């Protein structure tokens, strides 16, 4: 069996565990579904395969991905980071290419917590004079 390269990506509350298998045909399975089935919108699919395109490794690997938590946007970015990290682990000469396109940087933005005595994170209750 071919060697597996594992990369973990996170974004917001989503976590993706990416397993790349060498000598593949470019198959991408996400939670047991095909890429088109799991991310039906065109730009989501483009974002997921971006690390492969940047590194010219489109048809060299099969990817088996398990993604949990969050919504579609967070999951897309988590998968993208996981793939990029796995490719960087596979061949360290790709790091500069991937970093140039911002694919190895984890997006640190998280949802701000709701504060007590307020309606939301920033929104206050309406103030009345009388």
Q: Where are the domains of the chain?
A: 4-100
pTM above 0.75, yes or no: yes
Over residues 67-98, the pLDDT tens digits come to 999 999 999 999 999 999 999 999 999 999 99
Architecture of the structural domain at 4-100 = 2-Layer Sandwich (3.30)
> What mean pLDDT do residues 29-37 have?
94
Q: What is the pLDDT of residue 121?
A: 96
DSSP-derived secondary structure for 70-115: S-HHHHHHHHHHHHHHHHHHH-GGGHHHHHHTT-S------PPPPP
pLDDT higher at 3 or 15: 15
Mean pLDDT of 18-43: 93
Helix axes 42-54, 72-90, angle to 10 degrees: 10
What pLDDT is stored for residue 90 in this prediction? 92
Distance CA 72, CA 117 (A): 31
- pLDDT at position 2 is 66
Distance CA 117, CA 19 (A): 45
């Amino acid at each position: 069996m071919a060697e597996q390269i594992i990369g973990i990506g996170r974004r917001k509350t989503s976590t993706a565990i990416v397993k790349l298998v060498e000598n593949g045909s470019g198959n991408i399975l996400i939670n047991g579904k095909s890429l088109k089935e799991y991310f039906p919108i065109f730009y989501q699919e483009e974002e997921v395969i971006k690390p492969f395109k940047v590194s010219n490794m489109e048809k060299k690997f099969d990817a088996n991905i398990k993604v949990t938590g969050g919504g579609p946007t967070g999951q897309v970015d988590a998968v993208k980071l996981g793939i990029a990290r796995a490719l960087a682990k596979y061949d360290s000469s790709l790091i500069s290419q991937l970093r140039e396109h911002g694919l190895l940087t984890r997006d640190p933005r998280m949802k701000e917590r709701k504060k007590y005595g307020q309606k939301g994170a920033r929104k206050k209750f309406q103030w009345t004079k009388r």
